Structure 1
Amino acid sequence: MDRRALVLAAARELALARGVIPSLNETAAAAGVSKGGLVHHFPTRAALVQGLAMAALEEVDTAMTAAAGEGSAAETWLRMSVPTGEDVAVFRAMAIAHRAVEAPGDAVATASQEAIARWEAMIRDEVGDAGRARVIRLVGDGLFANVIAGIEPAPTAAELDALLGSLLPAGGRGGR
């Protein structure tokens, strides 16, 4: 694992443990790197938040690309939209920190907009309808937002299966 990845992993673990994005000093200590080594990759806390967000986008992009290749982009999107366990704490911390340190139009917002358009296109290609793809994408967004904000708990597996059955084409998940 390179230093940048090591720093991001340490920041994620600290965010899990504390529910907030750690300081640069805390992150450097947890990663076992010097502050200078950390600052080389993330000169500010805002840059660290951006790094965490971009890593999360890359993880989702990898999963969605693989799912699209298997014909299950819509199902994968909805299942990934329900954060569980440790992910809830990390995403809450990232959301709070991101809003506190970033301005609209930043690199993360642009990358997020591009990724969402790409993922929605994958869903559209699978379900064959732009309107249905948008609804599926927005339902996933709503599930994610409600869990992260603590508005409602994550749906149970049975509830999520029922939702998938309502949104996806008859005859199977992901258009299969």
Structure 2
Amino acid sequence: MGTRQHILQTVRRLAIQTGSVPSMDVIARQAEVSKGGLMHHFTSRAALVEGIAVQAIDDMDAALTAAAGRGDVVETWLRLSSSPDEAALYRAMLILLTDHATLTDTLLQQTVDATRRWERLFAGETGDPVAASVVRLVGDGMLLNGVTADSPAPDIDAVVHWLNRGSSRD
């Protein structure tokens, strides 16, 4: 793993553990790199958050692509959407991600493109583009629920069953 990836993994771990994106000094210390080395890869906390967001998109792409090969992309999406670690990470990034000054057009476009890719995978499994949109929105809602509340995760098996039953109707 390269230095950039190591830094991103460190920030991700710290964000999940502490509930916030730490200062650049803490990140450099925890990643065991100099502050100059950190700044070489990420010029600001906003750049770090963008790096984490892009990494999260890449990780989801890999997980959903693998799941599509197994035929369980909908279930994988819903399980990942209700993951406590994912909710903790998004909760930590939420404040910085809501600051439109720190969001780049590139990150916003990457998010839109990823959402379209994922919906195509859901449609491939369900055979229905409307069901694919519903699946994505349910997963988005599950993630938001985890970010905003400490309520228990829903019964994923029951949700998958219900969604599959609805998408298989003619």
TM-score of the two chains, using structure 2 as the length reference: 0.89
Determine if contact 2:80/2:86 at 8 Å carries over to the other structure.
no
> Taking every aligned residue pair, what percent have the same amino acid on both sides?
42
Q: How do 1:1-176 residues align onto structure 2 when only pairs under 5 Å count?
A: 1-84=1-84, 86-100=85-99, 102-103=101-102, 106-150=105-149, 152-155=151-154, 159-169=155-165
Q: Find the aligned partners of 1:124 and 1:51 in 2 and give their Cα distance.
A: 28
Q: 1:105 to 1:13 in 2, by over 3 A?
A: closer
Between Structure 1 and Structure 2, how many residues are aligned?
Answer: 167
Q: Identify unmatched segments of 5+ residues in structure 2.
A: none
Amino acid at match of 1:38: L
Determine if contact 2:87/2:143 at 8 Å carries over to the other structure.
no
Amino acid at match of 2:14: L
1:96 Cα deviation after fit: 2.1
Deviation per CA, 1:7-52, whole angstroms, max 9, x where unpaired? Answer: 1122122212321101111111111111111111101111000011
Q: Find the aligned partners of 1:164 and 1:139 in 2 and give their Cα distance.
A: 10
Which SS does the other structure have where 1:154 is aligned? coil
Q: Identify unmatched segments of 5+ residues in structure 1.
A: none
Instruction: Provide the alpha-carbon RMSD of the alignment.
Output: 2.0
Amino acid at match of 1:60: M
Which SS does the other structure have where 1:168 is aligned? helix
Greater alpha carbon shift after TM alignment, 130-139 vs 145-154? 145-154
Q: 1:3 to 1:103 in 2, by over 3 A?
A: closer
TM-score of the two chains, using structure 1 as the length reference: 0.87
Determine if contact 1:21/1:93 at 8 Å carries over to the other structure.
yes
Amino acid at match of 1:119: W
Q: Find the aligned partners of 1:113 and 1:47 in 2 and give their Cα distance.
A: 19
